[in-house]
Amino acid sequence: MGPPGAGKGTHAVLLARDLSAPHISTGDMLREAVREGRPLGLKAKEFMDRGALVPDEVVIGLVEERLRKDDAKTGFILDGFPRTVDQAESLDRCLEALKMPLDHVIYFKTTLAMVIRRLSGRRVCGQCGKTYHMTNFRPKKEGVCDACQGSLVQRPDDHEDAIENRLRVYEKQTAPLIEYYGKRKVLAEVDGDLDVDPLRVILKDLFSRKQGQPVRR
């Protein structure tokens, strides 16, 4: 967890690759469930179609559904969930039922200047959703997606004024999770301002440590 632009999605993908564990993104799960027409997906679609937030019980249902698959039985990386203490409590109950305790919750502590720099440089394919960055991960052809040749756009919420509002929402809703998981001694704080490669090394080292051993880098 961490503020928007902290690098959570990037490192979730890399960690999943390094640990041979599935990368479980709630956003991807929602889109897949809708596309496949599964019952929870159809329920989520009702809310998504009218621009409303998908209720926690639907999201946690999808998470539990995903964690029951064989590839998650030896480990998984959760990306984008939980976002609130209520969601964290629901996740705890789900994991307890599945007998799959959390080993680590990674907090990417990131400065405002870095968040603005990263998000304002982000571009997204309007067709397939692939993400690029004008500094760190540029497309081969300016403004064109490498994967599907769709046009790259800047999301409205990646403009500087919108970023500051997103950070206020984060502080109100998500930051309390730092205390929540800190009390459970599973929280690991890392420097979200670091570039990808040095932070990747730190995270790989973290996962070789025992549960509850603090890491501050």
Provide the annotated active-site residues. 8, 83, 122, 155, 166
The per-residue DSSP string of 79-145 comes to: ES---SHHHHHHHHHHHHHHT-----EEEEE--HHHHHHHHHTEEEETTT--EEETTTB--SBTTB-
Sequence-distant (≥ 6) Cβ neighbours of residue 13 within 8 angstroms? 23
Residue 137 · residue 123 · CB < 8 Å: no
CA distance 164 to 146: 30
Q: What angle do CA 203, 209, 212 make, to 5 degrees?
A: 100
- If phi > 0 it is left, if psi is from -120 to 50 it is alpha, else beta; for residue 37 that is left
- 130: tokens are 């692939």
**Hunting for tokens 């760190």 — which residue is that?**
136
